[in-house]
Amino acid sequence: MPRISVRCLPEVKLMSSVASDRLITLDLNQPLWDRFFTVAPLVIIGSKEANGNYDLAPKHMAMPFGWDNYFGFICTPRHGTYQNIVREKVFSVSFPQPNQILLTSLTAISRCEQNQKPTLSILPTFPTTKIDSVYLENSYLYLECQLDRIIDGFGDNSLIIGKIIEAQVQEKALRRSDRDDQDILLDIPLLVYLSPGRYSIIDHSFSFPFHARFHR
């Protein structure tokens, strides 16, 4: 019979492979989301304060709701954003660009004793068109939303969903049939939040390998 040669992998590589695939059971008595990274959008929610001023606040637990024109985000009743939207029934959404990361960070500053965010006065903003709110200037996408519903009870958090009644996008960020999607990302990269505590810039992408019979 012919001899069969069997070649073994070096032990160090085998151990490394096993270690990288090992699963760790997490304690569900504690919040999970600080134990690993997840990718999320980074948006700025605009709302009107009771005194007539405007508030801007960053949110990353935010997304479209369905294929129709609804947008929602997670907030907490303890925040001014929640209270403003309950009272005014509207909110705006700005999608900042990567070169606005410091401005975005300023919108997260804590309120002072007068319940105000003093740094908001130095941020470049402009008014919305159909609701009473503001946008962060030079963002690439803007939405104006009318409150549809609030669902409380996700622990200390609530889901706020609005119906989009106005939308504007920078021309260079608009997808068109005569332009390659990759070229758009080279012209106007996307800012994403890597929760917890980091961010990244997307300027390259690849076509997703959908099955031929896939449909939404």
Q: Indicate the fold that domain 38-202 takes in CATH.
A: Pnp Oxidase; Chain A (2.30.110)
What pLDDT is stored for residue 90 in this prediction?
A: 98
- What per-residue confidence (pLDDT) applies to 19? 55
- Backbone φ and ψ for 96, nearest 5 degrees, come out as -70, 160
Tokens of 163: 């119906």
Give the integer Cα–Cα distance in Å for 15 and 199.
Answer: 32
Say what the alpha-carbon torsion angle 179, 140, 85, 127 is, to the nearest 10 degrees: -120
Q: How confident is residue 59, by pLDDT bands cut at 50, 70 and 90?
A: very high
Looking at residue 21, its pLDDT comes to 82
Mean pLDDT for the chain overall: 88
Q: Give the mean model confidence (pLDDT) for residues 109-122.
A: 69
15 has a pLDDT exceeding 60: no
- Mean pLDDT confidence for 195-210: 92
Predicted structure pTM score? 0.85
Percent of the chain with pLDDT over 70: 87
